[in-house]
Chain A
Amino acid sequence: MKEFQIQAGVLQPERDKLRLASPSCGGFVTFEGWVRNRNDGQDVLRLEYQAYEALALKEGNRIIREAFERFPIEKALCIHRVGSLEIGELAVWVAVSAGHRDEAFSACRYIIDEIKYRVPIWKKEYYADGDSGWVNCEACASHAHEQHDH
């Protein structure tokens, strides 16, 4: 198990964690990224994730392979959700199993940090005041401000 996946349906970590099981693993670490109700001072109602799937899968799997080169881990799985998500829903799940906890923590951290930075997935926030915007896109923020002014 050494894989990055993209999924439109609800993530099922309790089911998928079984894929990380191994008799030689003493450490199992997961990270869950949840949809938060507030970002950058604005109340968020829901999110939409969009992926450039062909390249996102390549880059995500490159990151998983890099984690295996850097840390002595046994299995790693990352699943990223796409589509429309409500507050509190699970947007991304990273799971790593290893002989010991140190490398499981380190690899899990490495994977989520690199995923956020490198994988072509975008997030649109829908705000309580009716605006919306693509996160990390500065012009979206200025566009939202233009709408406020009217």
Chain B
Amino acid sequence: MQNIHMKNINVEYFAILRERAGCDRETLATTLNTPADLFAELQARYKFPAMTSIKVAINDEFADFQSQLKDGDRVVFIPPVAGG
């Protein structure tokens, strides 16, 4: 069943996504239910580049793109890493 309730999602950006979004973080009021849908919307809004192997974290843990978002969640999309 579709959850149509509005929720506030705290999105934080890093690396290329931070540069494209033009901010470190923002709170989005949305009815979208999954990180997959949220990323698609943000990708369109900010012209995020197409990248292989994007991951997502919810509340500072790796999560599935099909997870159900809850009001107040902190979401971070993780572009390909390059530490070391």
Q: Which A residues contact B (CB, under 8 angstroms)?
A: 33, 49-52, 54-56, 58-59, 80, 91-92, 112, 115-124, 134-140, 142-143
Contacts and interface: CB of A to CB of B under 8 A. Distances in A.
Contact of B60 (A33, A55, A117, A119): A55
Contacts, number: 87
Given A54-B60, A55-B57, A55-B62, A115 B16 contact: no
B66 interface: no
Given A134-B15, A138-B49, A140-B16, A55 B81 contact: no
Interface of B: 12, 14-16, 18-19, 49-52, 55, 57, 60-62, 76, 78-84
A121 B83 contact: yes
19 contacts: A50-B15, A54-B60, A55-B62, A56-B83, A116-B81, A116-B82, A116-B83, A122-B14, A122-B82, A122-B83, A123-B82, A123-B83, A124-B15, A137-B15, A137-B16, A137-B80, A138-B51, A138-B52, A139-B16
Contacts of B52: 138
A135 B19 CA distance: 14
B82 A134 contact: yes
A49 B82 CA distance: 9
Given A92-B83, A138-B49, 9 more contacts: A50-B18, A52-B57, A52-B76, A55-B61, A115-B84, A120-B55, A122-B15, A134-B82, A139-B49
Chain A contact residues, majority secondary structure: mixed
A50 B14 CA distance: 7
Nearest to A134: B16
B49 A52 contact: no
A95 B14 CA distance: 28
A59 B62 CA distance: 9
Nearest to B79: A137
Contact of B81 (A33, A91, A120, A139): A120
B51 A52 contact: no
A81 to B, nearest CB: 10
Contacts of B19: 134
